[in-house]
Amino acid sequence: MPRAILCILDSVGIGGAPDANLYGDVGSNTFGHIAEWAASGKADKAGLRAGPLNVPNLDALGIGAAIKLSTGTLPPGLSAAAKGGRFGVGREVSKGKDTPSGHWEIAGVPVPFDWGYFPQSEPTFPPELIAEFIKRAKLPGILGDKHASGTDIIAALGEESIRTGKPICYTSIDSVFQIAAHETAFGLDQLYDICQIAFELTAPLNIGRVIARPFVGEDATSFKRTGNRRDFAISPPELTLLDRNQAAGHQVYAIGKISDIYAGHGVTHKMKGTGLPQLFDRTLDAMEMAEDHALVMTNFVDFDSEYGHRRDVPGYAAALEYFDSRLPELISKLRHDDLLILTADHGNDPTWPGTDHTREQVPILVFSPALPQGEIGIRPTFADIGESIAHWLGLKPGHHGKSFL
């Protein structure tokens, strides 16, 4: 009986979307620009990798062909034709370039509203919001109150946060309110508690997520974020693919931050993981446990959080090569009627100015031992992914999107 494995390579975009001009992202191309950088022979000072981008398994599934379909240009070292499976391009209809927007639409529910965002000015957050937050959370105050890179602001204010007991609050171009605090000095439970308070206060502003960002370390030179991140997210406005499969009596394995993104809805098994190796391991574990008609869904966040936002091109390239090297393990575990889809939720071009997501089209790489290879074209909405999985699992069609199977 069929099962579906959906791997979301967070931020692995393949070229600017038709409306990229509205976001200042015309010309962005996360995967393509990484391939070009690798082929240029530029030195990787960290010594992570060398030479052209080596992703033979992704290429065989059609990543090169998908990029050419998306942009009209084939990056160096990639093939213009898939050697197995089906390939295509996903185009987002939801506004913005946020994680929830991309994920919800992938699961069959485009976002029908505008997210709320915080201004670029400093202080960034409404003073009445912060005053109420401090009062309800019983805090001595907050630090930050601005747009910032998470790693940078923790390095700059982490020591003061430990000394004063004040959490670090910051945001980005996305619809998000982030709170960082030391995992032991401040306490993980207290961090989660104050994030819940912040979520209740920011929900009326249509802020998509409040994210708990715990860190450890003794000083600015050793601070490091941990895997105990938690996202407090607004619920999707309609039933997603996850809800529909759960309601049909089937398993839904949510790996990484998937459960948080969907506010826990439709999840029967929640599995956490930190780093690409562990997330991949958890995916393989879920496949061993998954029963007939199960959906296994993993978010591989490191591409975005560790390399895209940090504009770390060699790190991103090495991460893609690592993921590629493990694909044969996953494919070898597929049953004859299992469906594997690799896609992304947005872009985050590490060669692009700034540190934010980029409005890009995404790859749709489809493989099953039961499917012939071919092209599925440029899909007008990410929701086609969710509807294709629903069709494969025998679920009734949803309200958005159309199956390409």
Percentage of residues of the chain with pLDDT beyond 70: 100
Segment 123-146 mean pLDDT: 97
> Which of the residue ranges 7-16, 36-45, 258-267, 354-363 would you say has the lowest mean pLDDT?
36-45
CATH number listed for the domain at residues 127-233: 3.30.70.1250
Percentage of residues of the chain with pLDDT beyond 90: 90
pLDDT value for 45: 73
pLDDT value for 83: 85
Q: pLDDT tens for residues 211-265?
A: 999 999 999 999 999 989 999 999 999 999 999 999 999 999 999 999 999 999 9
Closest CA to 137 of 228, 235, 210: 210
**Cα 58 to Cα 312: distance, rounded to the nearest angstrom:** 21
Segment 380-393 mean pLDDT: 98
Q: pLDDT tens for residues 360-385?
A: 999 999 999 999 999 999 999 999 99
**Cα 344 to Cα 103: distance, rounded to the nearest angstrom:** 8
pLDDT value for 96: 83
Closest CA to 219 of 169, 156, 166: 156
Q: Where are the beta strands (DSSP E) in 245-388?
A: 252-255, 269-271, 295-300, 338-343, 362-367, 374-379
Q: How confident is the model at residue 166 (pLDDT cuts 50, 70, 90)?
A: very high
Residue 122 CB coordination number (10 Å): 11
Residue 180 CB coordination number (10 Å): 28
Phi, psi (rounded to 5 degrees) for 351: -95, 0
Instruction: State yes or no: pLDDT of 42 exceeds 90.
Output: no
pLDDT value for 332: 97
User: Homologous superfamily of 3-112+237-393 in CATH?
Assistant: Alkaline Phosphatase, subunit A (3.40.720.10)
CB 45 within 8 A of CB 312: no
One-letter amino acid of 215: F
Segment 59-88 mean pLDDT: 95
**Cα 105 to Cα 113: distance, rounded to the nearest angstrom:** 13
Segment 305-318 mean pLDDT: 94
pLDDT value for 33: 98
Supply the Cα-derived Rg of the chain in whole angstroms. 21
Delimit the domains of the chain by residue range. 3-112+237-393, 127-233
Token pair in block for residue 203: 């929900």
pLDDT value for 151: 87
pLDDT value for 104: 97
Of how many residues is the chain composed?
A: 405
